[in-house]
Structure 1
Amino acid sequence: MSDRIGQKFTTHDQLFAIQQLQQTGYSIMPRPHVHTSFELYYLLQGERIYFINGKVFTAQKGDMVIVIPGDLHSTASSQVEHVERVLVHFDSGFIPMPDRQVLELRPFLQSTLLRVPLKEQAELENSILYMLSECKEHQAFYESYIRQLLIGLLIRLHRIGSLEDNSTEPQHPMHQKVSEITAYIHDHYSELITLEQLSANFYISPSYLSRVFLKLTGFHVSEYIRIIRVREAQKLLRTTRDKIQQIAEHVGFEHISHFNKTFKKVSGCSPLQYRKQHIRR
């Protein structure tokens, strides 16, 4: 595998970042992760598999992947070896009001892959590459120019995302199958779920399911189940006064010690510490 990773450029306030990358050969993101900022992933060349909140998308040339803050995601190579992309991260605070209201509209309400019509691709690419150039060169008022370019890009993405024929159905049968399996996990996380059970339910051998699931999501099946349970526990810790023991049982943990250990490994702190950090005053 060979990479040509361009420098990551940021604005002075660190609320906007942009980076270009060219890559040849197979690769997978070291760990699925989340951001506190919005992520725009625009594919200039090639093909890339994106896994976002339980859904598998195949991004192709001209596609824009939108990841909203807090959504778990990862990427992996497809059968197309050469990939070139531009990655943009921005905090909503970088966009002034009232323009920030566009982030409360489609397609920014949930993470998704946006099929950009061919006639729109050149203009979108120009906007993105102009932002990259401005970040590189730091000319007078470059941050203001980047802000205006980003606002224009977001408005165009909103208009494209509002089109009814913007289809993002999985193109590969196994991509669809993995999306169905993750949907099942999201619906049944409080129950006992095993690799063997999923294998039987979805008519796939355990070894093949394990291998494909890891390739497309970056997670082992059992690990993904634990992540979903912890994320649901986090939600309950933030929004309810339920006892930690009750929450552990509700999200599928039989033993409080196992819950505490798993929660700390995923969250970096204990359930009690998490609740104190996120309690609503």
Structure 2
Amino acid sequence: MKELVFSGTCRGIGVSHIIRDCDFTETTGYYRNEYQIHYICEGERFFFISQRGYKMVRGAIAFIDKRQIPTTNVVGGKFHNRLLIELEESWLLSMGEAVGFDLLRFFQDYHGVFLLNEEEQKYMQKNISVLENSVGKEGEFCEAQAKIAVIQMILRVCAGMGVRAPECRFPQEKMMRYMKVHDITDYIVGHCEEISSLDELARLFYIDKSYLSRIFKEVTNFTVNEFINCQRIGKARLLLAETEKTMEEVAKELGYDSLAYFDRVFKKYTDMTPLQYRKMKKKNNRNPFTFTQL
């Protein structure tokens, strides 16, 4: 069972609030390869980075540096009620300039899990209410209120809210599976354009493809194909924003033989077509930095 409590966007921010009673392969989000904040309202999830694991329970908040997303997974748990905030790098840079605070450095330094006490959880719930009552709404100050709520969460952690979560010990077998998948995700991140099939990937790592599919989903909460597409679409966004390559050239460079299929996959992962994304980026680049764009 999955219940979507809230989902919305404003410029630079995507917010989704979901209750699940088991893990699902598909995800709900907007940017996927951007900076992230996870907050657990109820239930549990598990945060893995390199060879370390952390249990996220009620009141846990995780900050994820997008440069470490390929080596970080937030997975597991039979039930969880969680809020996910995804932040575009361009917005973090603009907001950091406006408030005089290096927000990218914050995510680098605070990448990981923090546990909040009861009072801190009450503060967080107030900010969540502000987000859900503001993001995507039409009111004159709604967007500003949402973005201030996000900044307040970050600043409170900088001021000492929360303590680092202790490392958890997981069974050796589970950690071995995690490390195997970690090696595979590393390969996919660097070679996503070249991978033609699950069979090819299984041969490269000397592993049965059915077992590979099972442990990959267990560890990452993605199917192999979904993870490959996530990486390809992340690279597609850079090519569309920073080069003049045609849609056909971008699709071919990323391993998509069909432009129509590339369009469908891109829209699934970004909520817009490649052409719409390029037009949005060009429009944003033409507009100089102002406080109204934060």
**What TM-score results when the alignment is normalised by the length of structure 1?**
0.61
Give the greater-gyration-radius structure (CA): 1
Candidates 48, 55, 60, aligned match of 2:56:
60
8 A Cα contact 1:248 1:259, kept in partner: yes
Q: Does 1:224 align with 2:230?
A: no
**SS at 1:106 equivalent:** helix
Task: Identify if the C-alpha distance between structure 1 residues 131 and 230 changes in structure 2 by more than 3 Å, giving closer, same or farther.
Answer: closer
Q: Does 1:124 align with 2:132?
A: no
Identity percentage over the alignment? 22
Equivalent residue runs for 1:136-155 within 5 Å = 151-155=151-155
8 A Cα contact 2:7 2:16, kept in partner: yes
**SS at 2:101 equivalent:** helix
Task: Identify if the C-alpha distance between structure 1 residues 231 and 263 changes in structure 2 by more than 3 Å, giving closer, same or farther.
Answer: farther
How far the C-alpha of 1:29 sits from its partner, in A, is 6.1
What is the aligned partner in structure 2 of residue 114 from structure 1? 112
8 A Cα contact 2:195 2:201, kept in partner: no
8 A Cα contact 2:30 2:86, kept in partner: no
Task: Show structure 1 runs of 5+ residues with no match.
Answer: 138-142
**SS at 2:106 equivalent:** coil
Task: Show structure 2 runs of 5+ residues with no match.
Answer: 134-141, 287-294
Candidates 213, 216, 237, aligned match of 2:216:
213
Equivalent residue runs for 1:225-264 within 5 Å = 225-244=228-247, 246-253=249-256, 258-264=257-263
8 A Cα contact 1:16 1:90, kept in partner: yes
How far the C-alpha of 1:32 sits from its partner, in A, is 5.0
How far the C-alpha of 1:265 sits from its partner, in A, is 0.6
8 A Cα contact 1:40 1:89, kept in partner: yes
Equivalent residue runs for 1:1-281 within 5 Å = 8=6, 25-28=21-24, 30-35=26-31, 40-49=37-46, 59-61=55-57, 62-66=59-63, 78=76, 80-86=77-83, 98-99=98-99, 101-107=101-107, 114-116=112-114, 121-132=117-128, 151-158=151-158, 172-173=174-175, 174-244=177-247, 246-253=249-256, 258-268=257-267, 274-279=277-282
In the alignment, the residues of structure 1 paired with residue 18 and residue 274 of structure 2 have an alpha-carbon distance, to the nearest angstrom, of: 38
**SS at 1:81 equivalent:** coil
Aligned positions, number: 257
How far the C-alpha of 1:207 sits from its partner, in A, is 0.3
Structure 2 residue identity aligned to 1:114: G
